[in-house]
């Protein structure tokens, strides 16, 4: 430390001498380098001021007393800056630590979501899910059972960020304990509701839509817990309609019955599931209407399911100047044969 | 956007008049105002939403919390004056089945 001080003294002295002699830009550039080095060596602003005074006293003998004394005042003022600077540094360290913890949590959360494409002769599946922050309150799932039934789910935890993300993992774990209910959407939601109701804050809730497609009967069975309605595309008539099902959001009341509904998918028909982060996108300050969303899907419907959801996300992200306000999830399941 | 809350005590209980947006920014204020009223024993709370044009999911959560508090204290909660967009939100989430909502002076089946 003492050595550092001596070398900094020498450095500053050389710098000041050269500047006083030449008044050149080059010497000023050296001063900038010096301040960087100071910060690296954790030197405080008041130490720099006192360094300046000692160097200057050596260079210019017989400094007027007032000039020397005035530095006492300047030193006192700089001490305040020094404290603020050190506080800033410790906050910055703390922030870096939190950030790295958050990154680990976000990676863990990603591992809760299904990975890998499902490549089947019977259906074409595409999904995109993008959190507004680092962690997501949206949950989605797709899974095949032994009979090649494919189950799809989109759930949305109220709010966003870490509290929402923690509740989202609860849905994942509860789903994993209910494999036999994957072909019984209403029963699945009833069981999830019991878990959520017991484990969630009184003013939080989760919405969810779950369905599964049976590739032999071509029926899609579904139930909803207060979730944003999806869409069904009818290829024969080239038309869209809402995919709605009545049912209370998860977590409000311990005993809730859900209705199960079903519809037949013809070749080329598809189901669209989404979270309210999609319909709450604002374009030019206005929420997008469901009709606008339908038009966007229509524009891309000749593409694969994954390409459709990717393109719609890019369009809406761009329309919002790349600032998502809420977690965004969009899933498409199309009957191929 | 702000939220203005005026509470009046009438002979049939308390009426809270809301004006503005109920969203993630104003939800705490709403919760702090309505929850203590809902926790009073055997009182009736009416929330007038005539001047509310938007409620987000965090806002909905506050009403669920208030509903639970009234159930615990033996009180009641009723919402009035919902515009179409707000009403639709209560319908999608199924909350119109558990919260007493008055539409155009007529009560919806509870």
Which CATH number is B64's domain given?
A: 3.30.750.24
- As a CATH number, domain A115-335 is 3.60.40.10
Mean pLDDT, rounded, for B59-68: 94
Residue B26 contacts A, CB cutoff 8 Å:
no
Q: Measured between beta carbons, which residues in chain B are less than 8 angstroms from residue A204? A: 61
> Cβ atoms within 10 A of the Cβ of A280, count?
16
- Do B98 and A252 make contact, defined as CB atoms within 8 angstroms? yes
- Do B98 and A248 make contact, defined as CB atoms within 8 angstroms? yes
Mean pLDDT, rounded, for B23-33: 91
Domain boundaries, chain A: 2-105, 115-335
Residue B28 contacts A, CB cutoff 8 Å:
no
Which CATH superfamily hosts domain A2-105? KaiA/RbsU domain (1.10.1240.30)
Residue B55 contacts A, CB cutoff 8 Å:
no
Identify which of A204, A207, A253 has the shortest CB distance to residue B98: A253
CA distance, residue A201 to nearest chain B CA (Å):
9
**A150-157: strand order across its sheet:** A138-144, A150-157, A206-214, A219-225, A261-264
In this chain, the answer to whether the domains covering A2-105 and A115-335 adopt an identical fold is no
What average pLDDT does the structure give for chain B?
88
A239, with CB counted inside 10 A (0-12, 13-18, 19+), is exposed
In a domain, B3, yes or no: no
| Counted domains in chain B | 1
In a domain, B8, yes or no: no
Residue B92 contacts A, CB cutoff 8 Å:
yes
Residue B64 contacts A, CB cutoff 8 Å:
yes
Q: What is the pLDDT of residue B104?
A: 64
Give the separation between CA A331 and CA A329, rounded to whole angstroms: 7
Give the 3-state secondary structure of residue A27.
helix
In a domain, B7, yes or no: no
CA distance, residue B26 to nearest chain A CA (Å):
13
Give the separation between CA A236 and CA A28, rounded to whole angstroms: 75
> Cβ atoms within 10 A of the Cβ of A336, count?
14
Q: What is the pLDDT of residue A92?
A: 93
Q: Measured between beta carbons, which residues in chain A are less than 8 angstroms from residue B64? A: 202-203, 205, 252
Q: What is the pLDDT of residue B106?
A: 44
In a domain, B42, yes or no: yes
B66 is in which domain, residue-wise?
14-107
Q: What is the pLDDT of residue A1?
A: 59
Give the separation between CA A282 and CA A288, rounded to whole angstroms: 6
Q: Measured between beta carbons, which residues in chain B are less than 8 angstroms from residue A159? A: 24, 57-58, 61
Give the separation between CA A131 and CA A327, rounded to whole angstroms: 4
Instruction: Report the run of H or E that residue B37 belongs to, with start and end.
Output: helix B27-38
CA distance, residue B68 to nearest chain A CA (Å):
7
- Do A159 and B24 make contact, defined as CB atoms within 8 angstroms? yes
Give the alpha-carbon dihedral of A10, A12, A16, A22, to 10 degrees: 80
In a domain, B5, yes or no: no
Answer left, alpha or beta for residue B5, where phi above 0 means left and psi between -120 and 50 means alpha.
beta
- Do B61 and A227 make contact, defined as CB atoms within 8 angstroms? no
Q: Is the Cβ–Cβ distance between A248 and A200 less than 8 Å?
A: no
Q: Nearest-5° angle of CA B27, CA B30, CA B35?
A: 120
User: Which of B89, B93, B98 to mutate: most A Cβ within 10 Å?
Assistant: B93
Q: What is the pLDDT of residue B109?
A: 45
Give the separation between CA A203 and CA A43, rounded to whole angstroms: 50
- Do A226 and B95 make contact, defined as CB atoms within 8 angstroms? yes
Tens digit of pLDDT at every position of chain A (337 positions) = 567 777 889 999 999 998 988 888 888 888 899 988 888 888 888 999 999 999 999 988 888 999 999 999 999 999 999 899 889 989 999 999 999 999 998 898 888 888 877 778 899 999 999 988 888 889 999 998 888 899 999 999 987 778 888 888 899 999 999 988 899 999 999 999 999 999 988 889 999 999 999 999 999 999 999 999 999 999 999 999 999 999 999 999 998 999 999 999 999 999 999 998 888 777 777 777 888 899 999 999 999 999 999 999 999 998 887 788 788 999 999 999 9
Q: Measured between beta carbons, which residues in chain B are less than 8 angstroms from residue A207? A: 57, 93
> Chain A residues within 8 A (CB-CB) of chain B?
156, 158-159, 201-205, 207, 225-229, 246-249, 252-253, 276, 280
User: Which of B35, B57, B70 to mutate: most A Cβ within 10 Å?
Assistant: B57
Which residues are A312's β-sheet partners?
none
- Do A205 and B69 make contact, defined as CB atoms within 8 angstroms? no
User: Which of B61, B72, B73, B77 to mutate: most A Cβ within 10 Å?
Assistant: B61
Residue B60 contacts A, CB cutoff 8 Å:
yes
């Amino acid at each position: 430390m003492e050595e550092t001080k001596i070398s900094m003294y020498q450095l500053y002295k050389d710098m000041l001498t050269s500047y006083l002699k030449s008044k050149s830009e080059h010497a000023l550039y050296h001063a900038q380098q010096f301040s960087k080095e100071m910060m690296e060596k954790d030197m405080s602003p008041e130490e720099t001021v006192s360094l300046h005074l000692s160097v200057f006293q050596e260079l210019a003998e017989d400094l007027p007393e007032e000039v020397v004394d005035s530095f006492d005042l300047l030193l006192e003022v700089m001490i305040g800056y020094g404290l603020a600077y050190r506080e800033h540094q410790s906050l910055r360290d703390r922030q870096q630590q939190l950030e790295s913890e958050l990154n680990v949590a976000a990676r863990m959360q990603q591992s809760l979501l299904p990975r890998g494409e499902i490549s089947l002769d019977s259906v074409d599946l595409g999904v995109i899910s993008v959190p507004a922050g680092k962690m997501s309150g949206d949950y989605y799932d797709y899974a095949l059972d032994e009979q090649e039934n494919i189950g799809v789910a989109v759930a949305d935890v109220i709010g966003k960020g870490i509290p929402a993300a923690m509740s989202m993992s609860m849905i994942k774990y509860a789903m994993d304990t209910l494999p036999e209910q994957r072909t019984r959407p209403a029963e699945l939601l009833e069981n999830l509701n019991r878990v959520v109701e017991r484990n969630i804050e009184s003013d939080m809730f989760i919405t969810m839509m779950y369905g599964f497609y049976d590739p032999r009967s071509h029926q899609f069975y579904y139930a909803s817990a207060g979730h944003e309605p999806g869409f069904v595309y009818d290829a024969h008539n080239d038309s869209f309609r809402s995919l709605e099902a009545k049912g209370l959001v998860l977590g409000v009341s311990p005993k809730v019955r859900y209705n199960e509904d079903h519809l037949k998918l013809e070749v080329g028909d598809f189901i669209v599931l989404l979270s309210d982060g999609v319909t709450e996108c604002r374009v030019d300050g206005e929420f997008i209407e469901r009709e606008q969303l339908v038009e966007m899907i229509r524009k891309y419907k000749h593409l694969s399911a994954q390409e459709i959801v990717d393109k719609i996300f890019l369009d809406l992200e761009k329309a919002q100047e790349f600032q998502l306000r809420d977690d965004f999830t969009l899933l498409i399941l199309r009957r191929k044969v | 956007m702000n939220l203005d809350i005026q509470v009046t005590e009438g002979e049939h209980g308390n009426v809270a008049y809301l004006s503005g947006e109920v969203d993630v920014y104003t939800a705490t204020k709403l919760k702090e105002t309505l929850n203590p009223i809902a926790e009073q024993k055997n009182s009736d709370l009416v929330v007038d939403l005539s001047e509310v044009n938007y409620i987000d999911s965090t806002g909905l959560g506050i009403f669920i919390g208030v509903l639970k508090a009234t159930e615990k204290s033996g009180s009641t909660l009723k919402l009035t004056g919902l515009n179409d967009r707000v009403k639709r939100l209560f319908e999608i989430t199924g909350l119109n089945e558990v919260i007493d909502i008055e539409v155009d002076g007529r009560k919806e089946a509870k």
